[in-house]
Chains A and B, each alone.
Chain A
């Protein structure tokens, strides 16, 4: 494919995708990705999710991602899914999947808000491993889930680890609030994924954070690649900024662990 931009997708899942097995589903995602010019996918969480997964559950989900990666390692990166309500088991899973396995990042979802110190051992160990750290966040006008973090919660965590880069998943969804919330916390990065393609999102993120703190992601299969790519392709920004968002920012975050693991990408 003679693509103008090099595109890595930060935010992909195996749910909402046709296929009976994890590898079939990732294969299907890659077929769609090929059509719209995406080179690599970061994949996390399994074929079935729960908001507060027990250790057996998140291990199963990570096994599914490992299985998918084993077939498509040249096109996908894996992030380990953990639950801060189960810190010892989560630390063990971090060792299994990242320290001793092929994964390169850590995903935290909605089991527990991220502002409390209980989460700190996971952040500290992930940082030691140079893993990319991703925390889901939303500012919902309706109501957040009980354990669902806001960007404000993430800022509290990020202040305790000022040298550790952390990705603010969805940039809070309500992005006009999320961008403002993380603006002054320079170790936080904005994920564009998983909200409607409302015009202005990317322009505001670039204006307030700089393209070097903004990352393209889709949140597929629940979202299309198309609607999320449009946030970058359709934004009134320069091509250099577009390239930074599509690839440069994530590559900068991921490069240390890729180097450490000897992964060429």
Chain B
């Protein structure tokens, strides 16, 4: 998978060709940071499985935007599963757990036993808990006991642009270091990290996966790889909240070897999923 090949497959096949290139084959990208459902403040583009495939994304770990504010999490998860089933195997449901809701363990059981989910996606800042609370460790252990992987969404959007009535600070990720040291086999990924989080709160979290959706700066990915292991960095688009082309073009902007490209876009996600 090289840069020219990537440009051709990810964008020329989509609605918005970037460069007129003509290489034939197609990569099979895995997006670890996709979502479905309504965003409360804006109508988002309707990106279905075809739209993802046109961009070369053949698999997308998919959470629900409804999960942020809806209390009936069981219904949110059921709707998410229905959408993912209709995607023909492209979307892989990442269920929601909200540990401040009564009977959250039943939601976890349903995610695993009834829906067959492999991933739980958490929103600690929207659900009102910190990672250093015993409640979080208890929930983390319960998820791990089911053999599931965990995604923690560090932030959804720039604080400067949030709706004034719903201002939500990013998750304080510092407690993760000790939590992961005590759970060396845990498969945990943080979504929407930025360079500051990577160089401060997440420093030394060697077993942790992250995604590239909010990694910014010119040549952002090649710079990140100077301080973060390649096997722990994944393609994540944060679509449909973000234009998916953002993360796809980051792969083009940075000087990545074919091995790095393959790791980021597919191999690492599979390791996270345990497949």
Contacts and interface: CB of A to CB of B under 8 A. Distances in A.
A142 B160 contact: yes
A200 B21 contact: no
A163 B178 CA distance: 61
Given A141-B164, A173-B161, A196-B157, A226 B246 contact: yes
A207 interface: no
Contacts of B218: 16-17, 28-29, 32, 218, 220-221, 223-225
Contacts of B19: 1-4, 37
A235 interface: yes
B216 interface: yes
B219 interface: yes
A118 B18 CA distance: 44
B252 A226 contact: yes
Interface stretch (B39-47, B64-72, B182-190, B200-208): B39-47
Contacts of B42: 176, 198, 200
A150 to B, nearest CB: 12
Contacts of A136: none
A121 B220 CA distance: 40
A97 B116 CA distance: 65
A140 B162 CA distance: 8
Interface residues of A, number: 45
Interface in B119-168: 157-164, 167
A197 B250 CA distance: 12
Interface in A205-249: 218, 220-227, 229-231, 233-236, 242
Contact of A32 (B3, B242, B253): B253
Interface string A128-145: 000000000010111000
Interface stretch (B9-17, B80-88, B90-98, B262-270): B9-17
B159 A4 contact: no
B17 to A, nearest CB: 5
A126 to B, nearest CB: 28
Contacts of B214: 196
A232 to B, nearest CB: 8
Contacts of B255: 35
Contact of A138 (B43, B160, B243, B244): B160
A226 B253 contact: yes
B20 A197 contact: no
A83 interface: no
A29 B159 CA distance: 28
B161 A222 contact: no
Interface residues of B, number: 43
B170 interface: no
Interface string A150-181: 00000000000000000000000111100000
B164 A234 contact: no
A10 to B, nearest CB: 15
Contact of B246 (A37, A175, A197, A222): A197
Given A32-B219, A223-B217, A174 B161 contact: yes
A142 B245 contact: no
Interface in A38-87: none
A143 to B, nearest CB: 9
Interface in B33-59: 42-45
B39 to A, nearest CB: 9
Interface of A: 1-5, 16-18, 28-29, 32, 35-37, 138, 140-142, 173-176, 195-200, 218, 220-227, 229-231, 233-236, 242
3 smallest beta-carbon distances between A and B, as pairs = A234-B243, A226-B249, A230-B246
Given A37-B19, A196-B158, A199-B45, 19 more contacts: A36-B252, A141-B159, A141-B167, A195-B158, A199-B239, A200-B45, A224-B220, A225-B249, A225-B253, A226-B220, A227-B249, A230-B243, A230-B249, A233-B243, A234-B243, A234-B245, A236-B15, A236-B45, A242-B16
28 contacts: A2-B20, A4-B20, A16-B217, A35-B255, A173-B158, A175-B161, A195-B158, A195-B161, A196-B158, A196-B242, A197-B243, A199-B241, A199-B242, A199-B243, A220-B217, A222-B216, A222-B217, A223-B216, A223-B217, A226-B246, A226-B252, A226-B253, A229-B245, A231-B243, A233-B243, A234-B243, A234-B244, A235-B16
